[in-house]
Amino acid sequence: MACLFISIIMLVVAVVYVALPWLIDFYIENSAVEVSPNSQKVMISMLYSIGVPTFITLAMAWLLTMNISRGKSFIMKNVTYLRVVSICSVVIAFMVLFFSTFLTSFFPVIITVIFLLLALLSAVFANLFQTAIKYKEENDLTV
């Protein structure tokens, strides 16, 4: 079920990624806020550059979910997937923080904090999985 949900999210992200210029134009035309052409270029470049690590993060979450649903929870691949999620989250956070200097909103700061917390949480889970794998291997050798 979770794999299907993540697959649907990945499909939506891919469609939005392709339709991004038209979506930005639609947003600007229908919003009450005046947006300069320079801000429009910044928004498009920000969303395109953040899209790549976001898609990588979703792919790693899908692979992790697939392994867990197959009963392979404590394998080193899952630790690697969680570490990639952590790295991508830090990259996204710093990209949003960088692009927030060009935009006049407090919202990117909130997104930055959320992605830094996601990076911390996934790094902690990666270490937890690695420790569990070590204990599992020791337990397998004991029995």
Q: What is the pLDDT along the chain (143 residues), one digit of tens a residue?
A: 778 888 898 899 899 999 988 988 888 888 777 777 777 788 888 889 999 999 999 999 999 999 999 999 889 999 999 999 999 999 999 999 888 887 777 888 899 999 999 999 999 999 999 999 999 888 888 75
pTM of the model: 0.85
Q: Which of 91, 87, 74 is nearest to 131 (CA)?
A: 74
What are the residue ranges of helices labelled H in the chain? Answer: 2-18, 20-30, 37-69, 76-100, 107-142
The 10 Å CB-count burial string (b at 16+, else e) for 10-22 is: beeeeeeeeeeee
